[in-house]
Structures are given as C-alpha cells and as structure tokens.
Amino acid sequence: MKNITVIGAGTMGNGIAHVFAQHNFKVTLVDISEKALENGIKTIRRNLDRMVQKETLSEEQLKSTLDNLTTSTDLQNAAANADLVVEAASENLDIKLNIFKDLDNICPPDTILATNTSSISITQIGAVTQRPDKVIGMHFMNPVPIMKLVEIIRGYSTSDTTANTIMELSLNLGKTPTEVNDYPGFVSNRILMPMINEAIETLYNGVAGVEEIDTVMKLGMAHPMGPLQLADFIGLDVCLSILHVLYDGFKNPKYAPCPLLTNMVMAGKLGVKSGEGFYDYSESRKAEKVASQFKRA
C-alpha cells in the first residue's frame, strides 16, 4: 500500500496528507478548489518548517515529504490507482455519500475507502458502495501531525482484513489506533460534544463567562484547552452538525444543541475559521493585544 488519495484540503485533509507523505507514502491531495489546494500545501509547508526549527525533522525529510505530495482537482485521475482513499470532506452526510458512490465507480476493486468522519455512520456510508467490506472509519484528531490517536470504526460489513490493514497502517504512521463500534459520535464525540454543549448551556444560563468557564476546566480538570475555546478551534458549525447526528441517532434530549450554539452558527460566528466565536480572532483584536502589550512595557 503506497498510493494514498486524500479528499479535502482543509484542516483535517492537509494534516492527513502531511502525515502520510512524511512516512514515505505517495499522496495525492484532492479538492474542488485550486485555492484550497494552494492553502493546504502552504499549511503543510509551514508545519514542516516548524518541525525543522524544533529539530524533530531534518531538511532532507522536509524535502522528501514535499516530494511525496501532489495535488489535483480531478478525482477521477487522482483516485484511479489509489490503494487507499481517505475522505476528509465536510461533515455532511449527502456530500460524503456522493463522494463514496463516485469512489466506488472510480477505484480498483481492492482499494480501501476510509472516511475521517467524526460522527456519521460508517455502515450508512458503506451501504452506498458495492464494497461495504472495504469501507472503514479512520478518524484522525486535530492537529493531525501531533495527535497520536486514530479512532478506527468498523461498519456493520467491514471485514477483518480491512480493519487489520488499517490498524497496522495507523501504527506505521506513528499513531495509536483504537477500534470502536459504529454508533453515532463513536467514542470521542459522544463524550466530547455533550461536554462542549453543557459548557455553552452554562454560558447561556449566565452561570459564568467564557473565560471563567474555560479557566475552571483548564485549571480544575487539567484540560489543555477550555471547552469553549476548543469549540472555536473545532468550528461551531462542526459542533452543531455532530450534535444533530447524536440527537437524530439516539433521540435523547441530552444531545439537543444549545440555542446559543444554533444562533451563533446562523450568525456566521463559527470560531477561529470565521475570526469570531466565543473568542475574537480578528486581525483588529490581534492588533489591540499587541498595542496593549506595548503600553504595559
């Protein structure tokens, strides 16, 4: 298994492509947008440069990683000879189902089709293909080059051969694969998203402010990042989508999204990627912080 196709050049997709390329796989990064591909490669290059500066990667390894990467907007050509395809497109069921239908027609019969979905049923995705035994969940954590966990999710029809291959492959990437069953949210988001949603409810009910809630969880529970800051980092729209999947899947009111989260997403306050969520990430805010530092000095 040497030829890897990664679909989606966003945060997760470029991170997954980075890790495979760094471990000597030939990787084609695919997106419908040339601009997204350019930004994805820039991000990979920036992260590699940072690794060189920290002396965790040599200049030779940086060059070989970049040499292992190609980009394409043509899924037909990019996936035609792939041994493995990892889909990292938007967390949207219809988009994923359409991609997997196309992949099933494009890819050789032995190609394994993996999805980086953080909540959507692997069984449902596999069912739209003629190879459900070769469809599997491969849920990387963000930031992909740093985080060790890969949540491996079998669909109802995923074969032992496919699961074992992906477990071994994850180990070869320097990751720690952990196999879980195919239920909404799997393990990671079934636990994480209700916590984030409860933090938003706590803010919504006026119990405490944003920084106070995050401080309690960071200092009191030893979390490296508070739940509201983490929600901004994930993307509030992604959090909302996952909560909808959980609520629809379990029909349990504890998974119902907080109205504040719903309103923020409708208002376009999506977190880091939009420049504002529970915190302000805009350029003007950054300038204010720099100015205040100079004043204190």
Annotation: binding site for NAD(+): 8-13, 31, 91, 96, 118, 142, 273
Q: Which residues are annotated as a binding site?
A: 8-13, 31, 91, 96, 118, 142, 273
Residue 173 sits at φ, ψ, to 5 deg, of: -85, 0
CA nearest 19: which of 177, 234, 164? 177
The catalytic residue among 151, 197, 241, 276 is: 151
The catalytic residue among 139, 197, 241, 276 is: 139
The catalytic residue among 47, 68, 119, 189 is: 189
Q: Token pair of 111, please?
A: 């190609």
The catalytic residue among 14, 116, 118, 241 is: 118
Determine the Cα–Cα distance for residues 142 and 103; give it in Å rounded to an integer. Answer: 25
Name residue, tokens 């079934």: 190
- The answer to whether 234 and 271 have CB atoms below 8 angstroms apart is yes
Helix 236-250 vs helix 188-204: crossing angle, to nearest 10: 110
The answer to whether residue 118 is catalytic is: yes
3 state SS of 179: strand
The answer to whether residue 284 is catalytic is: no
Catalytic residues: 118, 139, 151, 189
